[in-house]
Amino acid sequence: MSDLTDISNIGPATAKALIAAGIPDAVTLRRMGAHEAYRALLASGERPHFIGYYVLHMALQGRPWNDCRGGEKTALRGHFDALVGEVRGPVLTGIDAALREIGLIAPQSSSRS
């Protein structure tokens, strides 16, 4: 498939998603970095998932996926939320998420400049 799966923590499904997002190989992924690669994944239609975001960071550092903890994980969560907000609009939680789910809050357009 691709040398992407040679990177620890990146399996065939993630490699396939990365390729579909325009990241064909490990060299390209390393050059982009985890944050921008995840931006490409979101732009290609992947659903946001925080674990996938920090696993990608750990993979590019050669660390086990579950090595992300404490302040580092908190900081990455802030970066993830900001990225999702840039690409998809604000992440709604609580009552706002429930109201959007039942159609009382209009969905935001995913096309942002």
Residue-range domains of the chain with CATH: 3-101 (1.10.150.20)
pLDDT digits (tens, 9 = 90+) for 49-106: 999 999 999 999 999 999 999 999 999 999 999 999 888 766 677 887 788 778 877 7
- 3, two tokens: 């040398």
Q: Which pair of structure tokens corresponds to residue 72?
A: 């580092």
Give pLDDT tens digits for 14-53.
999 999 999 999 999 999 999 999 999 999 999 999 999 9
Per-residue pLDDT at 107: 63
State if pTM tops 0.85.
no
**One-letter amino acid of 4:** L
CA distance 83 to 90: 10
Q: What are the tokens at 40?
A: 């490409």
User: Of 49, 37, 36, whose CA–CA distance to 91 is shortest?
Assistant: 49
Q: What is the CA radius of gyration of the chain?
A: 15
CA distance 81 to 89: 10
